[in-house]
Structure 1
Amino acid sequence: MTNSPTLEQGEHYLSVVAAVPPALSERILGWQVKHAASEPRYPSHITVHIAPVKDGLHLSDTFMREVRSFVPFPIGLGEPETFAPQTPVSYLPVQHGDASIHSLRTLCIDHLGQSASPFEFVPHLTIAHQCPTDLLQASLEDFADLPEELRSFEVQEIGIYYFDGHSWENVATISIS
């Protein structure tokens, strides 16, 4: 596990994510591998919520039904930014579609509890994390020319992942319609 300001070593977590198109995910993964900028996360995604799991993994039928009730929603990504100096992360901010992300996050908080993250929630797609300043700067430059067809897309899947203290496992992929 890489150093994380959110995940504590040995603890368990549940993460709810919005899937991004394969072409965008592959572009980010390719950049990470090329620059050895961070441990590649595939597929890339927009993290909606990460909650600590204390009493074993349990997803209520109500929660799953309410996630399934979401309809596909458009996302528009802005110009690359960084969270530095708070944390060494570069990202593409969600500029359009964040109301749907926030609605999904509220549902997650209601059913899964408060976020494990020490940071204010900013809907975004991570490019690179936990890397040196020069690579953060390179990521900002390299993704400034991201084509519009990769910046705008429709979220059609919600992923649910479980972290067992060592690695992430996909426990559900929900097609929304």
Structure 2
Amino acid sequence: MKRCDWALGSEAETLYHDTEWGVPSWDDRHLFEMLTLEGAQAGLSWSTILNKRAGYRKAFAEFDPVKVARFTPKKVESLVLDSGIVRHRGKIESTIKNAKAVLEVQDSGESLAGLLWQFVDGEPLQHRYKSLSEVPAETAESKAMSKALKKRGFTFVGPTTCYAFMQAVGMVNDHLTTCFRHKEVCT
């Protein structure tokens, strides 16, 4: 089967590509998880983050924003020593700050999904790229999302991170047209 080139590096990447990447998600907890993981990836490879995903789930209470928002400075210190995640203090503190921001969104009567999906009018954007070189690093939508999230108190959500997030959670279908998944995630 023909796949997107980036998914050929490891068995974990192939499995992620084949089962999850680009599949639309409206689940707030999953969206919080993916926002965290994409932010953690900044400056690193996706394979590094994917290999630490189980560690992230354990370290960040299965991405329950209520629990993560309660993390203390002492908990941050223990996470800085946790080899199961990227031990970057700024990224760890960002996850806690973002959990609080998720709760503020929800407390205002919105869902995280509703906030995020508005940037694509609630429907996945269907792209028809033939090669990875055509896929942008950021778009007008990801720039708008980044700006809105920062205004709401989120961090590590630059336009490139937001676009990678949009790809991961199916807000855009960036499977290449030659990839067997392109038609499967097309709505």
Which bracket does the TM-score occupy, shorter chain normalised?
0.3 to 0.5
Greater share of strand: 1
Greater share of helix: 2
TM-score scaled by length of structure 2: 0.32
TM-score scaled by length of structure 1: 0.34
